[in-house]
Amino acid sequence: MPTPSLLSPPAPPPPALPARAGTARLLARLRGLLGSDGVLGPDQALRVHGHDTTGCERVIVAAVRPADRAQAMAAVRLLLAERIPFYPVSAGRNWGYGTSQPAADGCIVLDLGGLRRVLHFDPELGTVTVEPGVTQADLAGFLAERGAPFLVPVSGAGPQASLLGNALERGYGITPGCDHFAGITNLEVMLPDGSLWGPTLAALGGETIARGFKWGIGPYLDGMFTQGSFGVALAGTIALARRPACVQAMVFQVGDDGLAGAVEGVRECLRRLPGVVGGINLMNRHRVLAMAMPWTRDLAGGDGLIPEETVRREAARRGIAAWNGFGTLYGTARAVAAARAEIRTLLRGRARRLLFVGPAAARRLAWLSHRLPAWLAGGLASKLDLLEGALDLVDGRPSEAALPLCYWRGGARGAPSDPARDGCGLRWYAPLVPMRPDEVRSFAATTAATLRGAGFEPLITLTSLSERCFDATVPLLFDRSDPAESARAACCHRRLLDQGCARGWVPYRVGIDEQAWLAGRLGPAWDLVGRVKAAIDPHGLVAPGRYCPRAPAAG
C-alpha cells in the first residue's frame, strides 16, 4: 500500500447518514427506560461524544447514558432487538485513540460512565470488583476511606479515566502489575444475544476463588473481550498490588551517545531485580523539555520546529540530558536498600547523576524550591514539580501529571483536564520495540528523523513492559484548529506505522482512525476473529469496526 503524501489535503468530513427509519420512536422508547436525561439526541450526542484529540469525526445517531446496571441491560436488549449498532464506552477518556467516538459511523454511543459502583472488596485477598464507570479517583477515594493498603493501578490518562476501560484496551502503568489486563481476574459481560457471561469458577460455586484466580477452568475467553467487539463488559475484578513499606523512584541521565549502554543497564536491572524494580522509562530531551516549558511560536524556526540548538540550550539550562531515566523500586526498606546498591553497580558507566528519592522527600523538595530566589532555583522548581507528579503515579495515587503534555501545542486547559473538550491535537504512536540496544537506538533515530521531516517535534518515551520489550509512546502534537495540520498529523502517523512494521516495531494498540489500516495488514489472521464475531454477533451490532474488519454488516 503506498504511503500517503505528507502534503495530502485534509480528508473530507464523513458523509451524513440518512435518518434511520423509526429513530424518533426508538429514542422515545429508550427515554421510557432511562428517563429524559439518559438519552441524548444526535446534536447533543455529537457535542458530548463527537470530539477527539486526533481531529477525526464520526456520525453519531444518539447516545444513551444508563444510570445503573439494570438500565444498561435494558437499553442493550432494546438496541439488540431493534438491530441498532451501538458502541460501548466506559468513561470516554481514551485520549489520542478516539476518546468516546465510535470506530464506525452510524452508531449509538452506549455511555457506561454512570455505572460507578464498587461491587465487592476483599481486603484480605486484595481484590476489588468494579463497574465500568469506576475511575482511578473513585477507587482511590474508596481505598482511602477504608484505610486499605493498596495501590490504584493508575495510568497517565488521569484521575477521571476508567479502570476497567483502560484494562480492556490492554493499557499499562509503572506501578507493580504494570500490565493492567494481567491484573483482571474475571469479567462479567453481556453478550450480543442479551445473555450474561461470567466467571467459570463462580458458576461452580467458587465465587471467592474466581476473584483470585485469573484463568478459570476450560478455555480462557476473557481475553476475547479486550480490544474486541464481542460484548459489553458490566463488571470486572482487579487484583490490587499491596502498598509496600517503601516506594522510591530512581532518576538518572544518559549522554548523547549513551542510549545503547543505558538499554543494557535497564535490561539487567529488570532481569536481576524482578518484583522490586517496577517499570523504567527512558525519555529523550525533547519529551522532558515539552513537560518542563511551554511551546511558543517565537521558539520555532522557519520549519515550525524548535531548532536543535535551542532544544539543547534550553535542556542544558534546566539540567535535562539527551536521555532521562525514571524507574521505581517497591518492597521492604531492606529490599529497596539492597536493590539500590545493585542498581548503582549495573548502571555504573552507563548512566550519570543516579538519584533515589521517595514521594515525601520529593514533595518537601518541590515545596522548598518554590521559595528559593529565582537566580538560585534556576530550573530546579519545574524539574521537582515533574518529579513530584510522577511520584504520585508510581505511589498509586491518581494524578493529572501526564496530561499537560496534551496541551503543549494548543488547547485551553479546563478543570478537570479534558484534552478532547479543550481542543488539544494529539495522536499516539505506540509501537513495541525489542529491548536490544542497537535496535532501540535505531528506532529512536529513525522515528525522530521521520517526525522532524514531517514537521513534528520528536517526543519519545520508552517504557519497559518486561526485560524483553519496550513500549514506545510517541505523541504527535499539533494545532487541531488547523485542518491542514490535522491532516499532516494523520499522514505522518500512517507513515510511522508503515515504517515501523517494515522494521518490526509493531503497535500494541491503534485508535479508531487506524482500524482500516490494521485490517489491511493482518490478512488471514482476521478470519477466525470474523468467524467468532459472526457466531455470537451475527448482525454486527456491538462496536462495529473495532478490531474486527471481517464482521457481519451492522443492522
| Residue 217 contacts residue 200 (beta carbons within 8 Å) | yes
| Class at the top of the CATH hierarchy for domain 118-239 | alpha beta
Higher pLDDT, 504 or 23: 504
Nine-digit cell string for 5: 503524501
Q: Is 83 exposed, middle or buried (0-12, 13-18, 19+ CB in 10 A)?
A: exposed
Q: How many other C-beta atoms can be found within 10 angstroms of the C-beta atom of residue 3?
A: 11
Find which of 386-390, 414-418, 423-427 is predicted with most confidence, using mean pLDDT.
423-427
CA 390: distance to chain centroid?
Answer: 16
Confidence of residue 5 (pLDDT cuts 50, 70, 90): very low
Instruction: Indicate if the pLDDT at residue 367 is higher than 60.
Output: no
CA 219 vs. chain centroid, Å, equals: 28
Name the nearest CA neighbour of 238 among 171, 155, 309, 180: 180
| β-strand partners of 348 | 351
| 507 or 397: which leads in pLDDT | 507
**Separation CA 289–CA 307 (nearest Å):** 13
**Architecture per CATH, 246-395+400-509:** 3-Layer(aba) Sandwich (3.40)
- Distance CA(477)–CA(425), nearest Å, equals 6
Q: What is the mean pLDDT of residues 25-32?
A: 96
Question: What pLDDT, in 10s, does the model give residues 431-446?
Answer: 999 999 999 999 999 9
Residue 375's pLDDT band, with cuts at 50, 70 and 90, is: very low
CA distance 210 to 454: 50
DSSP of 350-411, one letter per residue?
TBEEEEEE-HHHHHHHHHHHTTS-HHHHTTHHHHHHHHHHHHHHHTT----TTGGGGGTTS-
Q: Which residue has the cell 513534528?
A: 456
**Helix/strand/coil percentages in the chain, nearest 5:** 40, 20, 40
What band does 358 get if pLDDT is binned at 50, 70 and 90? confident
What was the pLDDT predicted at 254? 97
Q: Is 305 left (phi over 0), alpha (psi -120 to 50) or beta?
A: beta
Query: Tell me: domain 23-111, CATH 3.30.43.10, correct?
Result: yes
Q: How confident is the model at residue 13 (pLDDT cuts 50, 70, 90)?
A: very low
Q: Which segments of the chain belong to CATH 3.40.462.10?
A: 246-395+400-509
Query: What integer best gives the mean pLDDT of the chain?
Result: 90
pLDDT at 394: 76
pLDDT digits (tens, 9 = 90+) for 185-244: 999 999 999 999 999 999 999 999 999 999 999 999 999 999 999 999 999 999 999 999
Give the per-residue pLDDT at 14. 38
Domain with CATH 3.30.465.10 in the chain: 118-239
Residue 133 sits at the vertex; the CA angle it makes with 130 and 138, to the nearest 5 degrees, is 70
Region of poorest pLDDT, from 23-32, 329-338, 371-380, 413-422: 371-380
Per DSSP, the three-state class of 542 is strand
What gap in Å lies between CA 85 and CA 540, rounded to an integer? 7
Q: Which residue has the cell 459472526?
A: 534
Amino acid 360: pLDDT: 66
| Res. 415: pLDDT tops 80 | yes
Average pLDDT of the segment spanning 539-546: 95
Q: What is the pLDDT of residue 520?
A: 84
Segments in 213-307 forming alpha helices (H): 259-272, 285-292
Residue located via cell numbers 457535542 = 47
Is pLDDT of 3 > 50?
A: no
Cell numbers for 290: 515539552
Q: Are the beta carbons of 342 and 272 closer than 8 angstroms?
A: yes
**C-beta of residue 53 within 8 angstroms of C-beta of residue 427:** yes
Angle between helices 359-369 and 380-394 (to 10 degrees): 160
pLDDT tens-digit map of 312-336: 999 998 889 999 999 999 999 999 9
Q: Which residues pair with 253 in a beta bridge?
A: 324, 352
Burial 479-515 (b: 16+ CB within 10 A, else e): bbeeeebbbbbbbbbbbbbbbbeeeebebbbbbbbbb
Per-residue pLDDT tens digits for 73-118: 999 999 999 999 999 999 999 999 999 999 999 999 999 999 999 9
Q: What is the dihedral of CA 271, 274, 277, 282, to 10 degrees?
A: 30
In terms of Cα–Cα distance, which of 284, 335, 323 is closest to 451? 284
Residues of the chain with CATH 3.30.43.10: 23-111
- Rounded distance, CA 352 to CA 282, Å? 13
Percent of the chain at pLDDT exceeding 70: 90
pLDDT at 526: 86
434: cis peptide before it, omega within 30°? no
d(CA 418, CA 142): 23
The terminus-to-terminus CA distance of the chain in angstroms comes to 30
Residue 395's pLDDT is 81
What local confidence, expressed as pLDDT, does residue 293 receive?
Answer: 87
Percent of all residues in the chain with a pLDDT value above 90, rounded to a whole number: 78
What was the pLDDT predicted at 383? 57
Question: Between these two residues, 11 and 240, which has the higher pLDDT value?
Answer: 240
Q: Describe the strand order of the beta sheet including 60-64 as a list of residue ranges.
A: 39-40, 60-64, 107-111, 86-89
| Helix and strand totals (H; E) in the chain | 18, 17
Calpha distance 131→87 (Å, rounded): 17
Q: How far is CA 119 from the centre of its chain?
A: 24
Closest of 71, 60, 4, 3 to residue 34, by C-alpha:
71
Residue (of 224, 129, 115, 118) closest to 184 by Cα position: 129
Q: Can you tell me the distance from the alpha carbon of 71 to that of 37, in angstroms, rounded to the nearest whole number?
A: 13
| Average pLDDT of the segment spanning 45-69 | 95
pLDDT surpassing 80 at residue 371: no
